[in-house]
Amino acid sequence: MMRSKGFAEVCRDSMRGGLLLVGILSMVAGGLALAPSAHAQEIQITGPLAGQPAVRRMRQYRVDRVQLIVPTVGYTLQDEFARSLMVGMEANVHFTDFLGVGVWGAAANFGNSFFINSDLTNQVSVNGQTTQRNRLSMPTSENFEEQVARLQGVVSAHLLFAPLRGKLSLFQGVFIDADFYILAGFALAFVQERADVTDPNACATAGADCINTQTGPSSRKDRIAPAPIFGVGLNMYFNSWLGLAIQWRAFPFNMNPAGTDEAGGTGGSVSIPDGLINDADQRFYFHHMINVGLIINLPPDASSTQ
């Protein structure tokens, strides 16, 4: 027959268990205190890898080389009225594997030998209506495409910085060297726009003088617009001298893309439209484009790190 423990015995057993648990925890804490702490910076590499660089025999595709991108073929994006197919070339010189300078130039639509209208321009030409209020902005709707602004070409000088490089793989079977870079610099955009209309009565009536401001021999003007240029790019190298470049470029500047009377008035007297076409009708316009080009590196042999 089992005898139940008394209160005193239960207390003694609890004390023994508590003392045992305290002893075990003390031993564990002491062991942890005596164990040396590990720090990554204290790990010393020994053997043949001691003091060696992270990468050896790395191909340097940029340093001390001239990089030609011939041709560059690009297309402007999100244009309101007129798009541009930009064909040109680029040349870059690299002082190091991550820093260089370059120049780029491209002509639009092969010297504007043809036009690429947006769908909005086509709709205005078909469905637009000319009223007394907008007669200067659109003397005739069918000739609206004749007055919209168009790029003729762009030239730029830029600085290149390539902070990232590595390898790209296709289905884990084909591997190519690649680098990502940033560019920034200064550009000159060659623009053709609707010519200024300085006579506020030119379109007072729907006459020949008004139509000539849209389609006449003096209805267009050429100008050069300075602009900052910036962008990003990805170079992929098939071998030491041949590769493919994919770029995004942007060059914002003021222009009047529709060739319409958008603003006017001075000295607190504002009348829109004001019956004039001039610089006051321009607005900040963000041009950007995608470029693709074939890379040719000179000299053809790339150097390698030790």
Residue ranges and CATH numbers for the domains of the chain are: 73-299 (2.40.160.20)
- Cβ(271)–Cβ(264) below 8 Å: yes
Output the pLDDT for position 57: 62
**Helices first, then strands: H and E counts in the chain:** 4, 14
Positive or negative torsion for Cα 303, 230, 242, 166: positive
Output the pLDDT for position 124: 96
DSSP character at residue 244 = E
Output the pLDDT for position 10: 42
Residue 153 in tokens: 């070409």
State how far the alpha carbon of 237 is from the alpha carbons of 95, 99, 105, in Å: 19, 18, 23
Output the pLDDT for position 33: 54
DSSP character at residue 35 = S
Kindly report the backbone phi and psi dihedral angles of residue 26, in degrees, each rounded to the nearest multiple of 5, phi listed first: -65, -40
Output the pLDDT for position 262: 87
Please name the residue that has the structure tokens 């020994």: 46
CA distance 70 to 64: 19
Rg (CA), the chain: 35
Q: Tens-digit pLDDT profile for the chain (306 aa)?
A: 444 455 455 445 555 655 555 566 566 555 555 555 555 555 666 666 666 565 666 677 788 899 999 999 999 999 999 999 999 999 999 998 889 999 999 999 999 899 999 999 999 999 999 998 899 999 999 999 999 999 999 999 999 999 998 888 877 778 888 999 999 999 999 999 999 999 989 998 888 999 999 999 999 999 999 999 999 999 999 988 999 999 999 999 999 999 999 886 555 555 667 889 999 899 999 999 999 999 999 988 876 666
pTM of the shown model: 0.77
Output the pLDDT for position 119: 96
Please name the residue that has the structure tokens 């004039």: 276
CA distance 118 to 116: 7
- Cβ(235)–Cβ(181) below 8 Å: yes
